Structure 1
Amino acid sequence: MPTTRLPSAAGCTLEDAGQDWDAIRVPRTIGAAAVAILGSRCGAVVDDPLSNACYFFTPVGTASRWDVTGTRALGDGAALTIPPARRTEGRGPHWRMCPGDDGWITDPQALRAALEDSTRSGQTA
């Protein structure tokens, strides 16, 4: 689990990427479709309605190799707002997919394929 940097009054924490995980930021509608495509292969996903984005956690080092159009990789030097474990809905950051016993990580190749499939099949509406 990432090291806490800065807690907020809402229970969220700001965590550094590039230490225990990298993250991939995708538009929310594409992220929702990718979660459905990935199914049980999906790791933890933060949904942030305010920024209209979903964040998938990937192995450290993924950000330096990531090149999927319309997404943004967060690696060393970036940070991400992590909601408390109990928050699975709301206006601010919450878990679309909660971290499970198997961890937070989604395989980058599976994520890339799911993002391509969701965009190609028009599941972004």
Structure 2
Amino acid sequence: MASPALQLGAATAAQPAGQAWDAVRVPRGIGLLALEALGARSGAVIEDDRALYWLVPPGSAAGWDITNTTVLGTGAKVLVPPARRTAGPGPFWRVCPGEAWLTDTDALRAAVEDAYRPEVAR
């Protein structure tokens, strides 16, 4: 079940990161490869036309230094789509929030690093 700090309303809303969750923004192409590698280990994922956003425990991605990825924590806002929006336009849930809505940061990091390897991209 989604945290009370993740408000799933009837419309897309900018919500503050850094409290119940942080988000890791990954370029769309790399993110899709990482999502495939994660499979069922992935928690909720927001997608827009340029990136995928994984929700991770707050502070768990401190020191994240992977090229072209960004950790959105305290002070950042993330556009969170309505509960069951699974297609665009605008941000939508590539993986809807459910029982396990946060992704393990170490597993995400490994999947993103693997997605950046040249042999994976071929």
TM over 0.5: yes
Normalised to the residue count of structure 2, the TM-score between the two structures is: 0.88
Q: Give the alignment of 1:93-112 within 5 angstroms.
A: 93-102=91-100, 104-112=101-109
1:66 aligns with 2:64: yes
Cα gap change, 1:87/1:3 in structure 2, threshold over 3 Å: closer, same or farther? closer
Counterpart secondary structure, 1:100: coil
- Determine if the alignment matches structure 1 residue 41 to structure 2 residue 41: yes
Q: Alignment RMSD, CA only?
A: 1.7
Q: Unaligned stretches of 5+ in structure 1?
A: none
Which of residues 77, 86, 89 is equivalent to 1:91?
A: 89
> What amino acid is the match of 2:48?
D
SS at match of 2:98: coil
Are the counterparts in 2 of residues 3 and 16 from structure 1 also a CA contact under 8 Å? Answer: no
Cα distance in 2 between the residues matched to 1:74 and 1:16: 9
Q: TM-score, structure 1 length as denominator? A: 0.86
Q: What code does the residue aligned with 1:47 have?
A: E
Q: Which amino acid in the other structure matches residue 109 of structure 2?
A: R
- 5+ long unaligned stretches in structure 2: none
**2:106 counterpart SS class:** helix
Q: How many aligned residue pairs are there?
A: 117
Secondary structure of 2:62's aligned partner: helix
Note the alpha carbon deviations across 1:40-99, whole angstroms, 9 max, x for none.
Answer: 1000000011xx011011110024321112100000000100000120011210000111
Looking at structure 1, the residues matched to 26 and 69 of structure 2 have their Cα atoms a distance apart, in angstroms, of 5
